[in-house]
Amino acid sequence: MRFLFKTDYEDDIKLFPHSGYLVSYGILLALLLIAPYFLSSYLMSQLVFVCIYATVGVALLILTGFTGQASLGHAAFLAIGAYTAAYLQKYNVPFPVYFLAAGGLTGIIGAMVGFPALRLTGIYLVIATISFALIVEEILARWESVTNGNEGMRVKTLSLLGVTVPRDSPTFYYLCLAVLVLTIVGTLNLLRSPTGRAFVAIRDSETAARSMGVNVALYKVKSFAISAAITGFAGVLFAHKLSFISPEMFTLQLSIEFIIVILIGGTFSLHGAVLGAIFIVMIDPFLTYLKDDMPGMIAGIAATFGAGPAAAGSIKSNVAAFASLNGLKGAIYGIIIVLFVLFEPLGLYGRWLKIKLFFQLFPLYKRATFKRQKIYVKSERNR
């Protein structure tokens, strides 16, 4: 096990605490860069969605994970980014301009949402963000001169500096990857700056932060604006990837999905956003795969344990019927959320840290290291 001796603050806030980080992240980046050459086009397309979801996840982590302000309205920010891009594109605005404009506009709207949210905490904030998202959804459906209403808008192929970039080309993937990497690096830098420290202070105790001289209102609005702006950038990519957007894509369901991304990944580290995005995007193909292959597999297992061909056949058809039931996906979704909340509240990244620590400390690992403290004295009404 490696011990890091830190002698001053600069050591403590290094992006890469030791050379191992540089090597492992370098290898990861290299693998991602050559991915288009050996992955199938379907997996590439899923990888693009992973990048987009992870970008939104990072945005949500800034707000929920690090500033402690829950939001169930991020689908609305994504929608604003996507529609801004689609609208400006109609007037032949070049990509860099509308990309920045979408992020800027979403950031401004995010700040405007942040102002009313200043006085709200907990459940009231959740319902305020839900209300905001529902209002945006309705506006998108009704403001037909701009958004084309429920018929939706077609998004033209991305054209970057005169070169067309189709939505399933490797270049588009590189663009999404670049946005994700820039977002992550930018966020890491933000979090080790005074602004990021203020965010974390607000999360841990608003009163304590205020008494330390943190301008709580200003930093909350900043957090909302930054989070919304990043989501707006992701929205532009989302619109290009789907090439068609309509209001019913940006529902509460999508907001919940984003929350699930950070919940499953882990809300205390940026790794969580990426791991959660991989999980959420890959669960669909995985379930489809199970649906197609599980019946045969289970019948095969039954046959090896001595079931006759007739019994194996009936098992196979029963399992197939079960797997193709409507709504099985929703049930599995629900079970996964509940299981994660109950058994792995630190998320996938927390699990990874635990496994890592287990091997580092090998015979001396204690489960209590990661035990959560229960706080029963907690009436929010008296806060």
Partner 1 sequence: MLDFVQQLVSGVALGCVYGLIALGFVLVYKATEVVNFAQGDLMMLGGFFAFTFIGMMGLNYWIGFAGAVAAMALFGMLAERVVVRPILGYPQFSIIMATIGLGYFLRSIAGMIWGTDDLKIETPFSQGVLRIGSLVLAYDKLSVIAATMILCTLLWLFFNKTTLGTAMRASSENMLAAYYMGIPVKRVVSVVWAISAAVATCAGVLLAPITFIHSNVGLVLGLKAFPAAVLGGFGSIPGAVVGGVLIGVIESMAGFYLPEGWKDVAPYIVLLAVLLLKPEGLFGHHVRKKV
- The binding site for partner 1 (CB under 8 A) comprises 64, 70, 116, 119-120, 122-124, 126-128, 130-132, 134-135, 138-139, 141-142, 207, 211, 252, 256, 259-260, 263, 325-331, 333-338, 341-342, 345, 372, 374-383
* Rounded least distance, CB 98 to partner 1, Å: 27
Nearer to partner 1, 30 or 127 (CB): 127
* Rounded least distance, CB 342 to partner 1, Å: 5
Nearer to partner 1, 141 or 190 (CB): 141
DSSP annotation of 269 reads S
Nearer to partner 1, 26 or 122 (CB): 122
Please give the Cα distance from 72 to 60 (Å, whole number).
10
Do 199 and 223 form a contact (C-beta atoms < 8 A)?
Answer: yes
* Rounded least distance, CB 226 to partner 1, Å: 20
* Rounded least distance, CB 201 to partner 1, Å: 15
* Rounded least distance, CB 131 to partner 1, Å: 4
How far from 49 is each of 42, 57, 168, 267, 322, CA to CA, in Å? 11, 12, 11, 20, 29
Nearer to partner 1, 2 or 371 (CB): 371
Tokens describing residue 365: 């690992």
SS3 153: strand
Nearer to partner 1, 367 or 374 (CB): 374
How far from 199 is each of 208, 220, 222, 224, 256, CA to CA, in Å? 12, 7, 9, 11, 23
Nearer to partner 1, 120 or 160 (CB): 120
Tokens describing residue 368: 């209590």
* Rounded least distance, CB 123 to partner 1, Å: 5
Nearer to partner 1, 188 or 216 (CB): 216
Q: Which long-range contacts (CB under 8 A, 24 or more apart) does 316-324 make?
A: 319/294, 319/295, 320/295, 323/290, 323/291, 323/294, 323/295, 324/291
* Rounded least distance, CB 154 to partner 1, Å: 23
DSSP annotation of 149 reads G
* Rounded least distance, CB 319 to partner 1, Å: 15
> Helices in 39-169 by DSSP H: which ranges?
41-60, 74-90, 95-117, 122-142, 144-147
Nearer to partner 1, 167 or 210 (CB): 210
Nearer to partner 1, 70 or 188 (CB): 70
* Rounded least distance, CB 348 to partner 1, Å: 15
Q: Which residues of 183-219 are buried (b: 16+ CB within 10 A; e: fewer)?
A: bbeebeebbeeeebbbbebbbeebeebeeeebeeeeb
Residue 14 one-letter amino acid: K
SS3 239: helix
Tokens describing residue 96: 């860099």
Nearer to partner 1, 85 or 140 (CB): 140
* Rounded least distance, CB 61 to partner 1, Å: 13
Please give the Cα distance from 230 to 232 (Å, whole number).
5
Please give the Cα distance from 87 to 249 (Å, whole number).
17
